[in-house]
Amino acid sequence: MKAAYLMDTVGNKQARGEIAMIKVVVPRMALRVLDRAIQAHGAAGVCDDFPMAMMWAHSRTIRLADGPDEVHREAIAKLELQRVGSTT
């Protein structure tokens, strides 16, 4: 919500830290939710009768597409170091 708000109000460049953060957090959360749903369904959760395994595989690609997690984490780290450097 904060990232979307900043994108709308101050623009994508100013919101790049928050954008990088959601790109790390949201796909991981989606995978966690899907993993729990699969677990609750047992083996049925990974069979073709349900879409969960396919949804998990699809969501997994989002941790790579548009840059892997590591690249977003590096961007966040650089912004944080700049922020800390500018206050000391």
Ligand X SMILES: Cc1cc2nc3c(=O)[nH]c(=O)nc-3n(C[C@H](O)[C@H](O)[C@H](O)COP(=O)(O)OP(=O)(O)OC[C@H]3O[C@@H](n4cnc5c(N)ncnc54)[C@H](O)[C@@H]3O)c2cc1C
∠ CA 20-2-69, rounded to 5° = 20
Shortest spacing between CB 27 and ligand X, in angstroms: 11
Q: What is the DSSP letter of 45?
A: G
**Subset of residues 6 to 35 that bind ligand X, contact rule: CB under 6 A:** none
78 touches ligand X by CB under 6 A: no
Per-residue x/- marks for ligand X, 38-77, CB under 6 A? -----------------------x--xxxxx-xx--x---
Distance CA 62, CA 14 (A): 23
Question: Phi and psi dihedrals of 79, rounded to 5?
Answer: -65, -40
Binding site for ligand X (CB under 6 A): 61, 64-68, 70-71, 74
